[in-house]
Chain A
Amino acid sequence: MNCAKFEPLIALYVESDLPASEASVVETHLEGCAECREFAAEMRDSQAALKALRTDFVEEVVFQEVRAEVLNRVSMPRKQAAWPRYAIAAMLLMGLWVARLRFVRPAASLDVEPRAAVIATPPVTTVSAPHHRVRSPRVTRRRAFKSEPLLVKIVTDDPQVVIYWLVDQNGG
């Protein structure tokens, strides 16, 4: 083995990074090779200079800047993270409400009051006479200006009980 091949081994040997078996081979070579001994001495010097960087320091103000920036950035998203969730939840609720207005008509079941329902816009149109016979609710719908509220009048079997339901067609 020539000296050039020993250089990488010596680079490890000077810091005790070689297994014992390889270290003894290097030691044997160093005993008989002045050039490699000089290489090892230079390597120890440059390693000492390199390891002197271990005592590097950074001003405390630099650490403070890093900490402040990190803590600022980890606390900000938390504050911002809540409102989009609330906004999405609110939009979903509004969507459900609009869908209900558009697609779900008031319906009366066969055995549940009220027995009839009328949808009208002002002036209110009603079907006032409840029938004794059970029947499906009849629903009439008039065109209404979007700006006008929709008034639903629900007439029950009891003439004393009339339910009015005012609906804002603009989604309100």
Chain B
Amino acid sequence: MQELALLMEAGGVDARDEELIRLVRQAKAGDTAAFETILVRYQRQVLLTALRLLNRNLEDAKDAAQQVFLRLHRSLHQLDENRHFASWLYRITVNVCRDMLRARRPALSLEEAGEVAAAAGEDTIQQDEQRRMIYAALATLPERERTAVVLRDLEGLTTSEVARIMGRSEVTVRSQISNARVKIRKFVIRRQRRPL
């Protein structure tokens, strides 16, 4: 119960975290079913965050999600149950996506972002023009600004949580979030005023 209390202090988590602690313990003991339950519980968080950080590339997002959960499995034995589990997973997701992006290039140009928007329209995830435009705007952002705004505005984390996950000060993260929002607005305005 002391562990649970510390876990709840760490991140304002809900009552289901008692179940999470039990699942983590079982998974540590080699219970594959418990590990799968953890996968199911956090798969949406990990995959959608990866999708947003990786310019909506579904195959890359799947690869990233697999890497995150494999890293989780490798780290189970040294996982601190008192740590806020969701934040820890966000951090791993951000790191994996950052490594994947750095293996290529940091951000897309406006022209390339247009190609992303067009390509995104062909898949089955989203058909909405405005959403494609926002994804294209996200693709133009520097990696850290994109990460900050995705975690704050799409994942709904607080600025201090984002700062903790990114390993930066709150002041720095607030500045990154602000820059990202201003750039997204400019991108949207430019697209809306562009002649057809």
Contact = CB atoms under 8 A, between A and B. Distances in A.
B52 A50 contact: no
A51 interface: yes
A58 B153 contact: no
Interface stretch (A39-47, A123-131, A156-164): A39-47
A1 interface: no
Contacts of B39: 66-67, 70-71
B175 A66 contact: no
A34 interface: no
Interface string A33-63: 0000000001101110111111011110011
A88 to B, nearest CB: 22
B74 to A, nearest CB: 9
A74 B32 contact: yes
Given A12-B174, A52-B128, A67-B36, 5 more contacts: A17-B178, A50-B134, A56-B125, A57-B125, A71-B39
A75 interface: yes
Interface stretch (B14-22, B86-94, B180-188): B180-188
Interface of B: 32, 35-36, 39-40, 43-44, 47-48, 51-52, 58, 62, 65-66, 69-70, 73, 124-126, 128, 130-131, 133-135, 137, 149, 152-154, 156, 159, 174-175, 177-179, 181-182, 184-185, 188-189
A108 interface: no
A67 B130 contact: no
**Could you tell me the dominant secondary structure of chain B's interface residues?**
helix
Contacts of B36: 67, 71
4 nearest A-B residue pairs (beta carbon):
A11-B181, A46-B185, A8-B178, A11-B178
15 contacts: A11-B178, A11-B182, A14-B181, A42-B185, A46-B188, A46-B189, A49-B134, A50-B153, A50-B154, A50-B184, A56-B48, A57-B125, A62-B47, A66-B62, A70-B69
Contacts of B156: 54
A31 interface: no
